[in-house]
Structure 1
Amino acid sequence: MVDAVAATLLAAGDHGGHGGHQSADLPPWTLERLLAWSPDAFFLVLCGALLAVYLAAVLRLRRRGDRWPVGRTISWTVGQLLVVFTMNTGMNDYGMVMFSVHMVQHMVLSMIAPIFLVLGAPTTLALRALRPAPRGRRGPREVLLAVLHSRYAAVLTAAPVTIAFFILNLYGLYLTPVFDWMMASYWGHVLMMAHFVAVGYVFFWPIIGIDPGPRRSGYLMRMLELFMGMPFHAFFGIAVMMGSTLIVDSFASPPASLGIDPLADQTAGGGIAWAFSEVPSVIVLLALLVQWRRAEDRQARRKDRAADRDGDAELAAYNAYLASLAARDQAVSR
């Protein structure tokens, strides 16, 4: 299986695909070798294009005098760079033959990079940058709005669905033959890695997303959704750590040059999956608290402006209500 993967990667590299080491020639891993540049054409071009389009949209807003928060641009850039780093360094080479390194890739692509991509609010940027179509016609902006408010988007972003996808992303992949089937080809591997990012994005979007969507729960419910999904990653990691047999065949015969025991490497990968579950939880929780505070501040400012316009009619009505209650009590006591 490993030889087949190596041959596939080499062929893909000859056609503009992954250009890293052949797995049979990989020396024992070191931090320097994991961080060494080893480009994968697909993810390099895709992430570069997504970043370029995003920056072009920001530039269009600025040229017409509109503002776009710098923090969102930084978040989108960090998210794209995390994907580039994970898929265009030695991490991708070693991740083809070492379960532990692959699990680092999985965790970064599904639980770290999507958080920053979601906070980049790309859909909101697109809606502001795209020009409305002439009356009676449907352009890209109108299509995007229709998709956002469609029944399909409502189902896709419902908590039971996003949590189920998030869980199946682990158990349905590694505990079935699907993983070995996808690892057997370059494009299967690419599809799997892209799938990690997509599932993570869909999971975090209803929780901390800034972009408009068909539904948005209250902040306490969003915290509950977060903590309903994350423990399953920890459970998976613990199960892998305690396992006495290999769960996938793709890492059963690592190159002898690595000098590793596949079961011990799998145990290390389980520990990585278990430990990583805490990192996104902290990041998302902090983002939620910041968003909650800002929402409360905006609501307070709206109430202040309304009070200035109507002479605080709401407070006057409430005081009148209290006065009527007091008058009624006095009448009863007499």
Structure 2
Amino acid sequence: MDHSGHGMEMELAPFTLGRGLEWSADPFFLVACLVGLALYAWGAVRLTRRGDKWPVGRTVAFAAGVLSIMLVTCTGLNDYGMVMFSVHMVQHMVISMLSPILILLGAPITLALRALPPAARGRKGPRELLMALLHSRYIKIITHPVFTIPLFIASLYGLYFTPLFDFLMESKPGHIVMMVHFLAVGLIFFWPIMGVDPGPHRPGYLMRMLELFAGMPFHAFFGIALMMASTPMVKTYENPPASLGIEALSDQNAAGGIAWAFSEIPSVLVLIALIFQWYASDQRQAKREDRAADRDGDKELEAYNAYLASLNARSR
């Protein structure tokens, strides 16, 4: 299939939700998603069989994240996204902001560390390699806010407002690379903020919220820039197929509106998750302090009883 847009004119009728959700699988993403689901299921089943518990909510969140990737890459949305800026923006927003949050809520790294068997003494298996990667300087760099926030911003402005986007859209491998990049940037950006899986950076909850909102204004400005533009800003979508019955500038304005609106939804989801984590952390801390106070009280009572016993012994 020609992904330049011109070769699809006879294939795509005016876009509707029904046509957009028709099955049209991309082999790369289909296989990757199925492998991801299978590995996660293997880990959860392995824990269950040895008597450990794995929260159902985490499994549901991870499955929803992977299925959301399949939704935008293995349906008609992927085909229409090649010739409609607005549909492409839906793909971009889902795969870079919604899918990563759901996947991270599934705590796949924690599951892997608990499910993978330790290697024999003196050897390194998958679990040991994963641990080494988590403690590596490379991971410390790419998960630091000084790196993640500029990368998150550059993925918008540096891609759409330069010839790079048009270059990647000229071929199917280029399009796959771009989508994988969107997913990777989302995972790297939200990983330290979510704080579900272990990682090199674990700032406090207030700092995580600041990191979350640091990148969102730039995201909103990007959407506004698209909506306010008086000419098409991306060559790929300058001449949409006549069969679609759309005008390039109005479609670009719709894409900008989608980008602007979508910046709010993930922010709210992550903020809710952080508030719940903060509350649960405070509850655990309070319980630890109560137990410590009970132990201290018991020791004081024991000391007092011993003192009374010694006085009684002396009086005798």
Answer yes or no: same fold by TM over 0.5. Answer: yes
Aligned to 1:113: 99
Aligned to 1:293: 279
Name structure 1 gaps, 5 residues minimum: 11-21, 315-334
Once the two structures are TM-superposed, the CA of residue 155 in structure 1 deviates from its matched residue by 1.0
Alignment: residue pair count: 300
Report the Cα distance in structure 1 between the residues aligned to 2:80 and 2:116, rounded to whole angstroms: 41
Task: Give the partner amino acid of 2:160.
Answer: Y
Report the Cα distance in structure 2 between the residues aligned to 1:74 and 1:312, rounded to whole angstroms: 44
Aligned to 2:4: 5
Aligned to 2:312: none
**Alignment equivalent of 2:86, drawn from 100, 114, 132:** 100
Aligned to 2:255: 269
For the residue of structure 2 that corresponds to 1:215, the secondary structure is coil
Report the Cα distance in structure 1 between the residues aligned to 2:67 and 2:279, rounded to whole angstroms: 29
**Alignment equivalent of 1:222, drawn from 205, 208, 217:** 208
Task: Give the partner amino acid of 1:48.
Answer: L
Report the Cα distance in structure 2 between the residues aligned to 1:112 and 1:43, rounded to whole angstroms: 17
Q: What is the TM-score of this pair, normalised by structure 2? A: 0.91
Report the Cα distance in structure 1 between the residues aligned to 2:26 and 2:233, rounded to whole angstroms: 27
Report the Cα distance in structure 2 between the residues aligned to 1:64 and 1:23, rounded to whole angstroms: 55
Report the Cα distance in structure 2 between the residues aligned to 1:208 and 1:91, rounded to whole angstroms: 28
Within 5 A, what are the aligned runs for 1:1-334?
5=4, 22-311=8-297
Task: Give the partner amino acid of 1:281.
Answer: S
Once the two structures are TM-superposed, the CA of residue 25 in structure 1 deviates from its matched residue by 2.2
Name structure 2 gaps, 5 residues minimum: 301-316
Once the two structures are TM-superposed, the CA of residue 135 in structure 1 deviates from its matched residue by 1.7
The percentage of counterpart residues that share the same residue type is 62
CA RMSD of aligned residues (A): 1.7
Task: Give the partner amino acid of 2:219.
Answer: H
For the residue of structure 1 that corresponds to 2:201, the secondary structure is coil
Contact kept, 8 Å, 2:195 with 2:202, in 1: the verdict is no
Once the two structures are TM-superposed, the CA of residue 42 in structure 1 deviates from its matched residue by 1.0
| CA displacement, residues 227-275 of structure 1 (integer Å, 9 cap, x when unaligned) | 1011111000001111112211111111110111111110111111111
| CA displacement, residues 187-219 of structure 1 (integer Å, 9 cap, x when unaligned) | 110111111111001110000131111120000
Report the Cα distance in structure 2 between the residues aligned to 1:303 and 1:177, rounded to whole angstroms: 58
Q: Alpha carbons of 1:309 and 1:134: their partners in 2 closer, same or farther (altered >3 Å)?
A: farther
Task: Give the partner amino acid of 1:5.
Answer: S
- Runs of 4+ in structure 1 displaced over 6 angstroms? none
Task: Give the partner amino acid of 1:81.
Answer: L
Q: What is the TM-score of this pair, normalised by structure 1? A: 0.87
Once the two structures are TM-superposed, the CA of residue 133 in structure 1 deviates from its matched residue by 1.2
Aligned to 1:18: none
Report the Cα distance in structure 1 between the residues aligned to 2:124 and 2:13, rounded to whole angstroms: 56
Contact kept, 8 Å, 1:118 with 1:208, in 2: the verdict is yes
Q: Alpha carbons of 1:291 and 1:23: their partners in 2 closer, same or farther (altered >3 Å)?
A: farther
